[in-house]
Amino acid sequence: MAMRGASHEPICSAAHPLRFIKSVQTGSKVPYTGPMERIRVASLQYFIRSVKSFEEFSQQVAGLIDTAADYKCRLIVFPEYFTIQLLTLGNVQRPIKEQVRDLARQRDRFVQMMAGYAKKKNVYIVAGTIPVFVDGTENEIRNECYFLSPNGSIGMQAKLHMTRFEKEEWFVSPHDSLKIFETDFGKIGINICYDVEFPELSRALALAGATVLVVPSCTDDRQGFLRVRYCAQARAIENQMYVIHSGTVGSLPNVPAVSLNYGQAAILTPSDFPFSRDGVLAEGIPNQETMVIGELNLVTIEESRTQGTVLPLLDSGRTKGLVGSLKSVKL
């Protein structure tokens, strides 16, 4: 579990009314209008274990949310497919595509549970992912991430690119819609695991005003984990945004299709003077059950986009024209 901090003072503060930043779109100075200057966030290294009932699963989730709320976190991030614990309630020797569809039948109960916790604890929750049937039929499923607000609102970002095992073994279909979510502390985007390996997605979110990117992931080996982690770090640097990476750890050896997990939660930043050394605000010890907690300064991230040592987001305006002028040179 998370290490207890020295202070539990409130950490969400109003932006100073006389503070100005430069607009990424126009380059002119504008007042900072974000409703909060700082927020505290929690990213989970979620331990996958067998459960004997949905209630046991719910208790594990509730305990983690309680801990994060006790640390005054405003945003709590769960990893991709942490809901696979619920597979252990059924016959785990069946073909995995059948088990995944059983899991999809838990969608309504799961979302209702997470929405209740968000409202009860007055927090935002990125609720990892769960397989979901498309259009109310059981012919097609997608991998969906629900974003729960303390006011009862529910948003959803589905995974846009399928890994091979999802496509070829689980028969999960990609979605075709990228969303940006407006919260009381700013705009957030979600790239689910493999999606973070496609930089065009996070660049579009950053240009639309997102200052935080959430990356829920589920990886079974170190190579897979590092693909996601390295790309998440790159997205933080090239878009000058915070990236919150959450992963699964532990194992379900009795479920052959999902027997291993390799993960390390992290809160990543741009690589510049106002931010953490090495661009890592916080990270866990790999493959242990824990959560990492960090405080995001939302004014600093906005200022870095126009006053940083380098300005990759602002300067990316040149990229489209340069790509369009690509020429082949034979030597």
pLDDT of residue 55: 98
Q: How far apart are CA 199 and CA 325, in angstroms?
A: 20
Question: Which residue in the list 37, 159, 218, 283 is annotated as catalytic?
Answer: 159
Burial 235-247 (b: 16+ CB within 10 A, else e): bbbbbbbbbbbbb
Question: Which residue in the list 193, 218, 283, 302 is annotated as catalytic?
Answer: 193
pLDDT of residue 237: 98
pLDDT band of 139, cuts 50, 70, 90: confident
Considering the entire predicted model, what is its pTM? 0.90
Fold of 37-297: Nitrilase/N-carbamoyl-D-aminoacid amidohydrolase (3.60.110)
| Chain centre to alpha carbon of residue 39 | 16
Active site residue 193: yes
Collapsing DSSP states into helix, strand and coil, what is residue 183? strand
pLDDT band of 290, cuts 50, 70, 90: very high
Per DSSP, helices labelled H in 92-162 are 96-104, 107-121
Active site residue 80: yes
pLDDT band of 214, cuts 50, 70, 90: very high
Question: Which residue in the list 37, 80, 283, 303 is annotated as catalytic?
Answer: 80
pLDDT digits (tens, 9 = 90+) for 242-264: 999 999 999 888 886 678 899 99
- Give Cα separations from 106 to 68, 217, 302 (angstroms): 25, 20, 39
Please check the confidence at residue 212 and state whether its pLDDT lies above 70. Answer: yes
pLDDT of residue 11: 35
Better-predicted residue by pLDDT, 141 or 251:
141
pLDDT band of 27, cuts 50, 70, 90: low
pLDDT digits (tens, 9 = 90+) for 102-125: 999 999 999 999 999 999 999 999
pLDDT of residue 254: 82
Span 82-110, average pLDDT: 94
pLDDT band of 135, cuts 50, 70, 90: confident
Mean pLDDT of the chain: 91
